[in-house]
């Protein structure tokens, strides 16, 4: 696979495409973005400008320069300079299959094509390509320019070399790749996030609580822990010296089942409205951009605290826990 990666080509330049652009530029790479919507160019540059001050503060790598970002209107021209392709089009299976197939026809076989999809299986995305061995998922998290996690998922035809090249590329961007050993819809992280989201929607739909109460129930408690204690270590510590065995004996399945609803409710107009009105109440007239700036500041400070006080990362980038 292509090494070194000097030029990254982004297919789709919305929220996630812009986030990749900012991260890659901050690491001294050339970035070419292509998007079929002409208005995407202005949004892309505005999003990168919005992210740049916090990236300067975190520390730009050698060669980092916003002028190394180009917007291309021709897919063919954009792909002609690619060392690595990151696709960020909407999560529509047919659309992504078409786009990846087009890219595959235009690219030499040593260029990785990674999709930012939040849940589509890579085997579906690679089925119609000529070189399926270089097609994989590289699923990031918003804001891509600050959050280190990227889930790597290979399909049935993905080559080990492509997975290794993808992991090395993301590490070069100071990310922490998590290689999913088994392909599954939604991968690992979004399956976990969706369970919580379904339960929240169920409680809003049933009139049990408001969106603001749901956010309060997470941000002051479990959410503060989640930056460093995942759900597993959380419940391990919840069992005291008895660990997770004690926790699980305590919350026997028949009790735990009564605490969850699990199936997602139908997205009726009433539910969508109640959810949106509740979120707008939390927003309280403040702009999304202001929320983004404050969120970014908090993410940087949380990561600084983790660097200082939590277990140092191992070579995979994950905290090295004592055995
Ligand atoms: N939003 C998130 O939090 C998040 C997080 C991780 C991954 N993702 C994934 O990233 C991808 C992009 O999501 P987003 O949030 O940036 O969406 P978005 O709507 O902000 O951006 C999508 C962009 O794709 C463009 N587009 C439309 N048709 C296209 C086509 N045929 N080819 C190329 N581009 C096309 C649109 O013009 C738009 O600029 C999706 O697969 C999504 O699941 C999103």
In angstroms, how far is CA 194 from the centroid of its own chain?
14
Return the CA Rg of the chain.
21
Q: Taking residues 255-274, what's their average pLDDT? A: 85
Binning pLDDT at 50, 70 and 90, where does residue 323 land?
A: very low
Contact by Cβ (8 Å): 199, 193 = no
Q: Say yes or no: CB of residue 119 within 6 Å of ligand 1.
A: no
pLDDT for position 320: 63
pLDDT for position 18: 98
The pair phi, psi for residue 7, each rounded to 5°, is: -125, 125
Binning pLDDT at 50, 70 and 90, where does residue 322 land?
A: very low
Binning pLDDT at 50, 70 and 90, where does residue 245 land?
A: confident
**Structural domains in the chain, sorted by start:** 7-179 (3.40.50.720), 189-285 (1.10.1040.10)
Q: Say yes or no: CB of residue 319 within 6 Å of ligand 1.
A: no
The residues pairing with 152 across neighbouring beta strands, listed in sequence order, are 138, 179
C-beta atoms surrounding 136 within 10 Å: 27
pLDDT digits (tens, 9 = 90+) for 173-203: 999 999 998 999 999 999 999 999 999 999 9
Residues counted in the chain: 323
Mutate to test the pocket of ligand 1, among 10, 11, 13, 14 (most ligand atoms within 8 A of CB): 14
Q: Say yes or no: CB of residue 90 within 6 Å of ligand 1.
A: yes
pLDDT digits (tens, 9 = 90+) for 31-52: 999 999 999 999 999 999 999 9
pLDDT for position 321: 55
pLDDT for position 246: 85
Contact by Cβ (8 Å): 87, 113 = yes
């Amino acid at each position: 696979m292509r090494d070194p990666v000097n030029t990254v080509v982004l297919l789709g330049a919305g929220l996630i495409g812009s986030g990749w652009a900012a991260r890659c530029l901050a690491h001294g790479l050339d970035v070419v973005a292509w998007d079929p919507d002409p208005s995407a160019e202005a949004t892309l540059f505005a999003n990168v400008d919005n992210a740049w001050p916090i990236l300067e503060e975190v520390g730009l790598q050698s060669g980092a320069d916003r002028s190394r970002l180009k917007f291309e209107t021709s897919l063919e021209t954009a792909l002609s300079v690619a060392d690595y392709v990151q696709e960020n089009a909407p999560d529509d299976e047919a659309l992504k299959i078409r786009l990846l197939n087009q890219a595959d026809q235009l690219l030499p076989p040593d260029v990785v094509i990674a999709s930012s999809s939040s849940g589509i299986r890579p085997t579906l995305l690679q089925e119609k390509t000529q070189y399926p061995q270089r097609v994989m998922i590289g699923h990031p998290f918003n804001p891509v320019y600050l959050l280190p996690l990227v889930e790597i998922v290979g399909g049935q035809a993905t080559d080990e070399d492509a997975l290794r090249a993808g992991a090395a590329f993301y590490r070069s961007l100071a990310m922490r790749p998590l290689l999913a050993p088994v392909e599954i819809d939604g991968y690992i992280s979004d399956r976990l996030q969706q369970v919580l989201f379904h339960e929240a929607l169920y409680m809003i739909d049933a009139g049990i609580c408001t969106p603001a109460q749901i956010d309060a129930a997470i941000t002051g408690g479990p959410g503060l822990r989640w930056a460093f204690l995942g759900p597993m270590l959380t419940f391990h510590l919840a069992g005291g010296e008895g660990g997770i065995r004690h926790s699980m004996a305590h919350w026997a399945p028949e009790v735990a089942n009564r605490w969850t609803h699990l199936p997602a409710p139908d997205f009726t107009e009433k539910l969508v409205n109640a959810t949106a009105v509740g979120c707008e109440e939390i927003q309280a007239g403040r702009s999304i951009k202001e929320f983004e700036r404050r969120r970014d500041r908090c993410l940087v400070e949380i990561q600084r605290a983790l660097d200082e006080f939590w277990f140092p990362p191992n070579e995979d980038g994950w905290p090295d826990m004592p055995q």
